[in-house]
Structure 1
Amino acid sequence: MKIIGFVSSLVRPVRFLVVAFTCALLLLTNAFPALAIGTTKSAPTEATEQLNGIQSKTDEKATKPPLGREETQAETYKGLNEVQGDADIDKMKRPENSQNATTVEDQVENLLEKVTGKK
């Protein structure tokens, strides 16, 4: 019985530290949410005209009967799909505009070269 009392007296401060650490962690994660460091701030009204155009096209397409295959293909060839057209197509990552992109392997090699100093 003395062993149980001795062990519980040792566990009590550890339990207090675990509870205190958990409370502090919860407080900090709720008080300071993740920061979007390194991103550019956008204006709240930016691109709303484009979205409004897409929304009006969507509403228009929803009131009409479904398009046939030829009509759908003709609309799709103009851009991303029959509703969005070419909205933000220049911002999309595609094989055509990603030829100069660095792969993960290249990035790791560059990092290892910096760390080891060898090329």
Structure 2
Amino acid sequence: MKFIHPSKSRLARFFVGAFLCLMLFVSSTVPAIAAGSSHQSSPTKGEAKLDQTLEKSQEVLKSPPMSLGEVEDRSNKGLNEVQEDADANKMKRPENTNRSTTVQEKIENALERVTGDK
């Protein structure tokens, strides 16, 4: 049996290491590229202002702790016990986004494409 010469071994380790570094770099940049292509945003628009949410949160922070009944009442009114329904119309949800598909719908579509059933 012939053994690999030490210089060829070093060269092979170098190429394996370089390849692994390249794969780490590519795998860390692909999600950023994929996220950028599916959602086009306007750079002048910025984040949605959630002023009512901020006000409600500050009120809760200044007030004493709520009892269980108060928490249940407030959480039944909206999104949660702090925000209630403040700025609910500005938040992204499946009900208020167009062309949104759930994970379940994406899986069903992929299975339909694979199996050919509709």
**TM-score scaled to structure 2, two decimals?**
0.58
Partner of 1:79: 78
Which structure would you say has the larger RCO, counting Cα contacts within 8 Å and 6 or more residues apart? Answer: 2
Partner of 1:14: 12
For structure 2, list consecutive stretches of 5 or more residues without a partner in the other structure.
96-100
Amino-acid identity (%): 29
- The total of aligned residue pairs comes to 104
**TM-score scaled to structure 1, two decimals?**
0.58
For structure 1, list consecutive stretches of 5 or more residues without a partner in the other structure.
none
Instruction: Write the letter of the residue equivalent to 2:113.
Output: L
The structure with the larger Rg is: 1
Partner of 2:58: 59
In the TM superposition, what is the alpha-carbon distance from 1:31 to its structure 2 partner?
7.6
Deviation beyond 6 Å, 4+ runs, structure 1: 29-33
Quick check: 2:74–2:84 contact (8 Å CA) kept in 1?
Answer: yes
Instruction: Write the letter of the residue equivalent to 2:65.
Output: P
Instruction: Give me the whole-angstrom Cα distance separating, in 2, the residues matched to 1:66 and 1:33.
Output: 41
Instruction: Give me the whole-angstrom Cα distance separating, in 2, the residues matched to 1:109 and 1:28.
Output: 28
Instruction: Give me the whole-angstrom Cα distance separating, in 2, the residues matched to 1:112 and 1:73.
Output: 46
Partner of 1:39: 39
User: For the aligned residues, what is the CA RMSD?
Assistant: 3.6
Q: Deviations over 1:14-60 (max 9, x none)?
A: 1231233245446656788722121131521x421x2x321221111
